[in-house]
């Protein structure tokens, strides 16, 4: 397995614009070595007869059908605003 040096970890941290002390770099070096070791073990697993997938759960559209309906009665809606004119809501001028 590949041994990561503190300098390598700090160089990659610098590329990601992360400041890191020597103690942190040493800790992350060990963690990264464990992750790399795990990925090497995964490469050894025989997956020849395992179906390929992009997501562990079946994906489907959970949204409702897009059917236009009236949300509010126009008069009922206009009764809730301060000012309206000719069926339109009046708002303050902004420019």
d(CA 62, CA 1): 45
Mean pLDDT of 16-41: 94
pLDDT band at 1 (very low <50, low <70, confident <90, very high): low
Cβ within 8 Å of residue 89, ≥6 positions away = 78, 81, 83
pLDDT at 62 over 80: no
Of the listed ranges 9-13, 48-52, 56-60, the least confidently predicted one is: 56-60
- Overall pTM > 0.75: no
CB-side neighbour CA atoms (13 Å) of 58:
3
Where do the domains of the chain lie, and which CATH numbers do they carry?
6-44 (1.10.20)
pLDDT at 2 over 80: no
């Amino acid at each position: 397995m590949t041994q990561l040096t503190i300098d390598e970890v700090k160089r990659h941290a610098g590329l990601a614009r992360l400041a890191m002390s020597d103690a942190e770099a040493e800790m992350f070096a060990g963690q990264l070595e464990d992750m790399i070791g795990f990925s090497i073990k995964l490469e050894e697993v025989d997956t020849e007869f395992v179906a390929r997938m992009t997501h562990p759960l079946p994906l489907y559209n959970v949204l409702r059908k897009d059917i236009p309906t009236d949300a509010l009665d126009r008069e009922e809606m206009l009764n809730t605003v301060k000012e309206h004119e000719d069926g339109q809501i009046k708002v303050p001028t902004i420019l």
